[in-house]
Amino acid sequence: MKSTANVFVRISMALIFCLGMLVTANPVASARDHDKGYRKRCEHECDDRYKQQKRECKDRKGKERHRCEQRADRERHDCKDGCRR
């Protein structure tokens, strides 16, 4: 009797393990495909925002323009970094 119960427990544990592996494997593969499209779209939006900010910086003069351009560069870097996560 003990051996039958022991075999049943082992088989059920193996099935649970296999089902768990299948459940965790599928969402990861589909999430990677989704992330690629999202990342490209997000980075494109960051570049568009950066170009708009650079256009706005052209109206300024001297150090104020330089600071504006640096701020735009920093914001684009932060935005693209956010797209990678």
Q: Quickly state the pLDDT bin for 74 (edges 50, 70, 90).
A: very high
Q: What is the dihedral of CA 63, 66, 71, 73, to 10 degrees?
A: -170
Does residue 1 have a pLDDT over 70?
A: no
Average pLDDT over residues 25-38: 60
Q: Which amino acid is at 23?
A: V
Q: Quickly state the pLDDT bin for 45 (edges 50, 70, 90).
A: very high
| pTM (predicted TM-score) | 0.57
User: In the 8-state DSSP scheme, what is residue 58?
Assistant: T
Q: What is the dihedral of CA 32, 33, 37, 42, to 10 degrees?
A: -10
- Chain centroid to CA 66: 31
